[in-house]
Amino acid sequence: MQPSIPPDISGLLDELSAADRDAEGLIAGLSEAQGTRRLSADSWSISECLDHLATANRVYLNAMREPAQRARARGRLRQRAAKPGFAGRLFVFTLEPPPRWWLKLKAPRVIRPRPTPPLADAFAAFMASQADAREFFTANADLDLASIHFPNPFVRGIRFSLATGLHVIAAHDRRHLLQAWNIRRALEREH
């Protein structure tokens, strides 16, 4: 029997579910041409936004798994809510939509989207990454996520708590789903 999920983790799971519904609404009724169209040469398409999220979620979760397993083996069970510390909150803030004009983040090479992935493939990859995140959040809800750290997979020498990692995934989803919705709205205004 699954132990009850703490309210903070339940809230994060709700955020993942909201992102799932948002992505489903985003692609509803889109043609392949619309889903893979870039508005400019230096922008991403809707499918590229989804592909980026799927890849970023996978990379982040992979970096978080081993520290979670080690913590479980050492019996580091939950002592407090899964909330980021000060530096983690700042990082999560930088990912929250809307993007701030004074803080432009460029995706690290390892999580840049494939060029023009098929819309159905990108959506399926995103949904699979969301299911993986949901499984990780649930399976590790009993750990002291605020005190267990993992190496940031993109910035050498930076470590975040697993709690920060959970919040990063949710904020990053919101950021790029908003970006994708802005693309869809621009495409709809053209017709």
- Residue 181 belongs to a domain: yes
pTM of the model: 0.93
Mean pLDDT of the chain: 93
- Residue 175 belongs to a domain: yes
State pLDDT tens for residues 111-158.
889 888 999 999 999 999 999 999 999 999 999 999 999 999 988 899
The total number of structural domains that make up the chain: 1
Per residue, the 3-state secondary structure of 51-100, as one string, reads HHHHHHHHHHHHHHHHHHHHHHHCCCECCCCCCCCHHHHHHHHHHCCCCC
- Residue 34 belongs to a domain: no
Q: Which domain holds residue 91?
A: 7-27+43-101+113-190
- Residue 186 belongs to a domain: yes
State pLDDT tens for residues 11-58.
999 999 999 999 999 999 999 999 999 999 889 999 999 999 999 999
Q: Report the alpha-carbon distance of residue 67 to residue 76 in Å, rounded.
A: 11
State pLDDT tens for residues 69-90.
999 999 999 999 999 999 999 9
- Residue 121 belongs to a domain: yes
Residue-wise DSSP of 108-173: PGGGPPPSS--HHHHHHHHHHHHHHHHHHHHHTTTB-TTT-EEE-SSSTT-EEEHHHHHHHHHHHH
- Residue 106 belongs to a domain: no
